[in-house]
Amino acid sequence: DAKTTQPNSMESNEEEPVHLPCNHSTISGTDYIHWYRQLPSQGPEYVIHGLTSNVNNRMASLAIAEDRKSSTLILHRATLRDAAVYYCILRDVGGANNLFFGTGTRLTVIP
């Protein structure tokens, strides 16, 4: 499975935008880029996914590099409820199509 690399931790001030980076230099053509987040003592929650084009939804935006070797999850205004571990995952819909979690980025939101 193609691997992703994320910073272990990041901090953001409340109500400011947050850019969470993810490198996936070995991404293949059938890999979708998925982002999930996990709040403490809860199961993961879907955030967003994309293939080539940038994506927006009510939770976040996903900016995908033109060569698809990196992506950035953008939270437009961080709230205390956004404090979580964010996972960037490549999902090969042409293969096993399983979600394998890496170490993720622990986001701390400072009031």
* Residues binding another protein: number (CB under 8 A): 23
How far is 33 from 50, CA to CA, in rounded Å?
5
In the complex, what is the shortest distance from the CB of residue 80 to another protein, in angstroms, rounded to a whole number?
A: 20
| Residue at 68: amino acid letter | R
Residue 43 near another protein by CB under 8 A: yes
**Of the residues 26, 79, 97, 108, which one makes contact with another protein according to CB under 8 A:** 97
CB 79 within 8 A of CB 18: no
Q: What is the rounded distance in angstroms from the CA atom of residue 3 to the CA atom of residue 40?
A: 24
Binding site for another protein (CB under 8 A): 32, 34, 36, 38, 41-46, 49, 87, 91, 93, 96-104
